[in-house]
Amino acid sequence: MQWWRDAVVYQVYVRSFADSDGDGVGDLAGVRSRLGYLELLGVDALWLTPFYRSPMADHGYDVADPRDVDPVFGDLAAFDALVEDAHRHGLKIIVDLVPNHTSTEHEWFRAALDSAPGSPERARYHFRPGKGENGDEPPNNWRSIFGGPAWERVGEEEWYLHLFAPEQADLNWTNPEVWADLEKTLRFWADRGVDGFRIDVAHGMAKPDGLPDDPQARIELLANTDGDPRFDQDGVHDVHRMVRAVLDHYPGRMAVGEIWVRDDERFARYVRPDELHQGFNFRLLQTPFEAAAIRDAVEHSIAAVDAVGSRPTWTLSNHDISRPVTRYGGGEVGLARARAMALVVLALPGSAYIYNGEELGMPDVEVPDDALQDPVWERSGHTERGRDSCRIPVPWEGSAPAYGFSTGEPWLPMPPDWDALTAAEQLEDTGSTLSMFRHALELRHTHPGFAATDDRRTRVEWYGAPPGCLAFRRSGTTLACALNTSDAPVPLPPGDVLVTSGPLTEDGQLPPDTAAWLA
Ligand code: NOJ
């Protein structure tokens, strides 16, 4: 069963979702305690960010043992209990795999440090002698995504490659042991009953022969990877074919890749029939709140996957980027736009990914310097604040921090004025962002416009719309969505209004910063 083709997946940033033991950090038992809420919300699946053994230099994306649970998040028994309960609530579970790199606390990396240059232990990573007379210059000019050189020197003789933090050493994907280990990890979690895998940096892993300099010495991950020797190398597709071959032995399991590749044709390669089932296309999330640009991003995202017979995925936020409310302008305008965009995304064909707190309209939070946790802050020499502001724990109930998230002090500070933002408050208010999400998700399950998954419904048909507006229909159905990004109210397309992201005008027009579904 290809359940993922139209699924709404809820991203649980485990650290920030719900804390069951009062240490201020969310955990697996905390997620389990909130499954009732997620069922009520109406999502189909959960993506759990890494909960594996980790020194937490990058909050779990530095994995020391990919087949065990870090004590801060629980243990394997807690994981099994979560999977079982989630399935009982009708929710699938997707876990996050990090195959591009390991923690420098991984037993392989420790063994590499204890071994000589040229040893099989070092051959699982990218160790190279330095340049310059004394070898004290990095082997090439690559930059780390988190700032600074992508190389760290160990001893007199060699440097190792880390595209992210120095605590995250890049694996050598020309080494068969590295392949075998990922296969083992896939089977380990698939055998424990998970329904899918999110593949971290799915456009990474393969490195070009000889590790040539980057002519542009780029830093960013979120930019175009065109010609960037660090990413989107052709060899990576063999890795995804292996992943697919393993998962094909487990009916109903899927893999979704994190793919920061903007070119449609190159993006499409990742979701060919023998590679990943889905890929995150980040175009829409990089698009301003402007109808023409939004339409362009939607068309590109659909065209990319349509070409290879795959289905689009949509996402407006995750734990790496500024939240939509803030990105679209902040305050009431930002919230109105974020709500409108949520309706656009949930009306599009394919699957949608919601990041925890998005359904509450959480904004970014300015975190004081001394509370910042993201490695980006230190690595950038305190010039980049990093991603903490979009990782604030979820407010559940009550009128003061930690709003039911934890009985202890939350790992990131929560604002004192969030009582109206809590899930408990919003469940009571029919006009809340949470109520809008619940209504839209219910319609996704019950309205015939969402019923079928045949391929015609990968597409949308565009209506003519006033300047600054867009309107589309899901192909083969009567379900339409209209969005107004202009600064004046506009008439709605014909049809019965099913749900709106905010109130219509008195004479029934669609106001600025608002979207509506019609049938
Ligand atoms: C992408 C993840 O989403 C991000 O949080 C992490 O820092 C990098 N990959 C490195 O694993």
Instruction: Report all structural domains of the chain as residue ranges with CATH numbers, in order of start.
Output: 3-102+176-440 (3.20.20.80), 107-170 (3.90.400.10), 460-518 (2.60.40.1180)
Residue 19, Cα to own-chain centre: how many angstroms? 21
pTM for this one?
Answer: 0.97
H-only helix segments in 75-137: 76-88, 107-113
Quick check: 480 and 495 in contact, CB under 8 A?
Answer: yes
Tell me: pLDDT of 222 over 60.
Answer: no
Q: Would the CB of 201 count as within 6 Å of ligand 1?
A: yes
200 assigned to active site: yes
Q: Would the CB of 146 count as within 6 Å of ligand 1?
A: no
pLDDT tens, position by position, 263-280: 999 999 999 999 999 999
Q: Which of 6, 27, 200, 264 is catalytic?
A: 200
Nearest-angstrom CA–CA distance, 202 and 258: 5
- Local confidence band at 457 (pLDDT 50, 70, 90 cut-offs): low
pLDDT at residue number 217: 74
On average, the pLDDT of the chain sits at 95
Q: Would the CB of 61 count as within 6 Å of ligand 1?
A: yes
Q: Would the CB of 355 count as within 6 Å of ligand 1?
A: no
Mutate which of 54, 199, 320 for ligand 1 pocket (most atoms within 8 A of beta carbon): 320
- List the Cα angle 173/174/179 in 5-degree steps: 55
Query: In angstroms, what CA-CA distances link 279 with 49, 202, 203?
Result: 16, 9, 10
- Local confidence band at 221 (pLDDT 50, 70, 90 cut-offs): low
% of the chain surpassing 70 pLDDT: 97
Tell me: pLDDT of 451 over 80.
Answer: no
Q: Which of 167, 181, 258, 364 is catalytic?
A: 258
pLDDT at residue number 71: 98
Find the range with the poorest average confidence among 36-45, 419-428, 458-467.
458-467
Nearest-angstrom CA–CA distance, 227 and 230: 9
Q: Atom 5, ligand 1: which residue's CA is nearest?
A: 320
Query: Which residue in 51, 16, 55 sits closest to 34, CA to CA?
Result: 16
258 assigned to active site: yes
How do 52-53 and 65-69 pair as beta strands?
Answer: antiparallel
pLDDT tens, position by position, 375-388: 999 888 999 999 99
